[in-house]
Structure 1
Amino acid sequence: MIMRLFAYFGDHAGDLAAQLLDHIFMVVCGIALALVVGIPLGIASARKERLARPVLALANVIQVFPSLALLAMLMLVFGLGFNTVVIGLFLYSLLPIIRNTYVGLKQVDRSVVEAGRGVGMSPFQLLWKVQLPLALPVVMAGLRVAAVIAVGVATLAPLIGGEGLGREIYSGLTLRNDVRVYAGAIPAALLALLADYALGRLQEKLKTRRNRAADASKPVQPTA
């Protein structure tokens, strides 16, 4: 089995590489849209609590939809192909990004915010220079979750006319060829693990930088 799998990888390296790139491109497009929409929604929710409950509730409703059912409904509206897949990935990536942006901003120390106001910062300056940098590790954790979810959901893309590694998986299922199933599933799993690891390392670096900045901003205690 292993020898057959390695032989298949060698014979179809070009096709598998193209499918991997298609898979990555779909995921990146979906997550980029989720960042563009989700971060402003998270910021708005943190600033106005009345907005937080309906926004988070709607994102939760989208998240609990079975992925195949959601993609099927989107296909009825937007048709087959790349755009429908990206919209589905965008919707599935919204909740962790909105929620973590909201939580990250809420966790910022209020004394730091008051200090920024005290030195005359405008609300935008306070958000951009103080609150978002301190909340960034939590936002990155949401991005990490969204990336892993998106990589998995993207394997369903061939069912609605998309490309990616899922094409190899479903071809293998149709033909009852276990080698083709593994040839699509293993790179998809490795891609999810790689995304989780890389974003996790970035999250740790941001957390360390935030802690150093917080320590540097603490007043020095006078010595006796």
Structure 2
Amino acid sequence: MNWSWIPRNLDRVAELTVQHLWLALLPVLLGLIVALPLAWLATRARVIRTVLITVTGLLYTVPSLALIVMLPLVLGIGILNPLNVVVALTIYTVALLVRSIADALDAVPQAVVAAATAMGYTPLRRFVAVELPLAVPVTVAGLRVAAVSNMSLVTVGAIVGLGGLGALFTDGFQRDIPAEILTGIVLVLVLALLVDVALLAIGRAVTPWTRAGAGARA
């Protein structure tokens, strides 16, 4: 295996790594922004919940390559526009998060909700100040799944020339450079692990009461 390829192409690898990160993580942020109000709506009425869960579930079953190829027709942009990957992965992120966040909100003890209502909290204030913080652990778990999934799915975009570390797969295969392919695989795995650990740390940081509860039980 020609390992000398790696030091000769460090600049390109670094550029593709940065591109891969923003193509994978921007949809996670956008998906969270979209999923939060949808999940809140899903908890308001059973009919709304059924419709939202069904629709988002169906969206997640659409093959990623087919969605990336189809989106330029819907958005009216070129197939090589990175926005295609961002929108496609945002859709998948929403599909993953709506159900998990809705389930987390439904799991909030009714006694807590009733107490907040009795204290004069409006539904919106109660959601932001009471229900959403209690749903953070499950929400972060959903974000971890979405982020790791996106790290893998971004590579599919390389088939239509949209970059990211997947470009190392296609280029390495076409030029028969195993070191390039292996570099791409390892970096995708490392990035997925680092992002997962980072989200886990963020989740623990914003939910100190979970650690306090675990300490009390011990």
> Is 1:54 aligned to 2:41, yes or no?
no
The 8 Å contact of residues 101 and 139 in structure 1, kept in 2 or not, is answered as yes
Q: Identify the residue that residue 203 of structure 1 maps to in structure 2.
A: 203
Counterpart check, 1:79 vs 2:78: yes
From 35, 38, 45, the counterpart of 2:35: 38
For the pair 1:22 / 2:19, whether they are aligned, the reply is yes
Separation in 2, partners of 1:210, 1:113: 19
Kept in 1: contact 2:6–2:179 (CA 8 A): no
Match of residue 8, structure 1, among 5, 13, 25? 5
CA apart distance, 1:160: 2.6
When Rg is computed on C-alpha atoms for both structures, the one with the higher figure is 1
RMSD of the alignment, in Å?
Answer: 2.1
Report how far residue 208 of structure 1 moved. 4.5
Structure 2 unaligned segments of length 5 or more: list them: none
- 2:169 pairs with 1:180: no
Equivalent position SS for 1:47: coil
Q: CA deviation at 1:75?
A: 3.9
**Equivalent residue number for residue 189 of structure 2:** 189
Q: Does 1:163 align with 2:160?
A: no
| Structure 2 contact 161–167 (Cα < 8 Å) conserved | no
In structure 1, runs of 5+ residues without a counterpart are 217-224
Paired with 1:45 and 1:79, the residues of 2 have a C-alpha distance of: 35
Structure 1 runs (4+) greater than 6 angstroms displaced: none
- Determine what percentage of the aligned residue pairs are the same residue: 29
Q: What is the CA–CA distance in structure 2 between the aligned matches of 1:60 and 1:207, rounded to whole Å?
A: 29
1:132 counterpart residue number? 132
CA displacement 1:42-78 (0-9 Å, x = unmatched): 1110122211111111111111222222222224444
Alpha-carbon deviation of 1:33? 1.7
